[in-house]
A and B are shown apart, each in its own frame.
Chain A
């Protein structure tokens, strides 16, 4: 692709720039450096606008390697009423299940009426709108473009089709899928190949942040022993009876459903962009992060995912879970977590190495990374879950 230095000011179409000299500074830069700048811009909307600036910009945008897609709104495929779009996950709304219920039965009983994940992440991108109106309508059609209230929406697949060489793709949803009450903490991090590889969930029934420094010096000495509780890391008996365990199960299942739904919807993007090294699908609330590295992406291209029969999400395999619990956790920065729970999940048939320590360091941002490290020192409880 040849490029000529334009020095003839007569041929300019636009008005003279104010105060700056006429020289096009971008002319100084070779294409590789311009691409470096575009990589740092990353946001796909900004890059789309750059296509209009000049032919040179337009020809370079498809080669950007680092792309960020900020999704404006999510349109659900449900035909349920708009009011019930997101459901809260508090213990009060869980119906009582029989003592002998397996987790899958618990799921069917408890879960179906409570939580419906977004079915159609396919209709995602549109012009910026106020968030209150983003859950107004529901559609049943899945396609490249959807008309809603006179505004056309575009899917990420469509938006990304101009980009030929993406290496690092980040997609950011406007909000997390799980509706949780204020003060409740729920964060998940999942790695997927063609199926779930690894998932960590950190939850707490209440989070209180304090800025007082006196707390922190005290807590550094006694990270595990708080409010005179049982210090050997055991779960108190009350946890089983007051709905605590049920709540954690609901958290776990809903996080896994959200993660597997995201994974399912990424498949067309992954098939199309073969140069991907890394893919991260997160949300602006910081609730859930799904990530896939190069090996995992290859695995998905080679072994297609198994879809769950009922809904548009990947099948979650049979799982081994490890759970740690602390009735109260006082973090060094003053944050207090009550009912803090960490769950580490991997498939029962996973042949991959267990490398929790390194994964844990990066999984949650501070102060929750510290919380996870503190929790993992406590007693480990093991659970199993059927595939769903």
Chain B
């Protein structure tokens, strides 16, 4: 009796698994054909969309791969968060910029080594253009990148601010960023003496 049932089981299991089998077949053929580099990667991983809700009510729907650039969001996805993700610390305007960055940085490297250097160069040029924003936006981007835990964006924004302030005199730094000088003249003189090596004699 056992032997007679095998063909039925066999057919049943084939029927049961066939949709998956077909899906696998199609994915495999897409992967092996690979008409456009990176396309196979996209078709397999970008099927899921994530919704992000900002502090000012705006909503953004993005691919999961893009969302995962943020370690905060990636961790939330890992721990089973399914619905829209609330981001109270980020406004819509800032998040839009952040998403633009993440989208560009998702497919980072080409399939072969020779493309790596060129791709990296192109990315650097894109980054330089991307970060040409006003002062307020940069600071909001720093905060957003920190909150969302996006290492590349945090590094880029901090480096930009650093490059901007590094060659300025203290007065210029205060003026540009609206920082208040809370030293008394005597205190300032004392600190200046302490760090006299940092100043050119004719300043």
Residues of A with C-beta under 8 A to B161: 37, 40
Which residue of A20, A48, A50, A54 contacts B176 across the interface (Cβ within 8 Å)? A20
Contact (Cβ within 8 A) B166 A28 = no
The B147-203 residues at the A interface (CB cut-off 8 A) are 154-155, 158-159, 161-163, 165-167, 169-171, 173-183, 188, 191-192, 194-201
User: B146 — nearest CB in chain A belongs to which residue?
Assistant: A33
Residues of A with C-beta under 8 A to B135: 20, 25
A-B contact count (CB 8 A): 125
Contact (Cβ within 8 A) B191 A33 = no
Contact (Cβ within 8 A) B192 A125 = no
Residues of B with C-beta under 8 A to A128: 200
The A8-47 residues at the B interface (CB cut-off 8 A) are 11-15, 17-18, 20-26, 28-29, 33, 36-47
Within 8 Å of chain B (Cβ to Cβ): is A53?
A: yes
Report whether over half of chain B's contact residues are helix, strand or loop; otherwise say mixed: helix
Which residue of B162, B169, B179, B194 contacts A24 across the interface (Cβ within 8 Å)? B179
In whole angstroms, how far apart are the Cα atoms of A65 and B124 in the complex?
A: 25
Residues of B with C-beta under 8 A to A20: 135, 176, 178
User: B175 — nearest CB in chain A belongs to which residue?
Assistant: A17
Which residue of B177, B181, B192, B199 contacts A26 across the interface (Cβ within 8 Å)? B177
In whole angstroms, how far apart are the Cα atoms of A151 and B165 in the complex?
A: 27
Within 8 Å of chain A (Cβ to Cβ): is B21?
A: no
Known contacts: A41-B166, A159-B197. The answer to whether A23 contacts B158 by CB under 8 A is no
Closest Cβ of chain A: how far from B182's Cβ, in Å?
5
Within 8 Å of chain B (Cβ to Cβ): is A55?
A: yes
Which residue of A21, A40, A154 contacts B178 across the interface (Cβ within 8 Å)? A21
Within 8 Å of chain A (Cβ to Cβ): is B143?
A: yes
In whole angstroms, how far apart are the Cα atoms of A237 and B103 in the complex?
A: 62
Known contacts: A20-B135, A40-B159, A53-B173. The answer to whether A11 contacts B195 by CB under 8 A is no
Contact (Cβ within 8 A) A43 B166 = yes
Closest Cβ of chain A: how far from B72's Cβ, in Å?
16
Contact (Cβ within 8 A) A125 B197 = yes
The B106-121 residues at the A interface (CB cut-off 8 A) are none
Chain B residues within 8 Å of A, Cβ to Cβ: 135-136, 139-140, 142-143, 146, 154-155, 158-159, 161-163, 165-167, 169-171, 173-183, 188, 191-192, 194-201
18 A-B interface contacts by CB (under 8 A): A12-B180, A13-B180, A14-B180, A17-B175, A20-B176, A26-B179, A29-B142, A40-B155, A40-B162, A42-B162, A49-B170, A52-B191, A52-B192, A54-B174, A54-B183, A127-B199, A127-B200, A127-B201
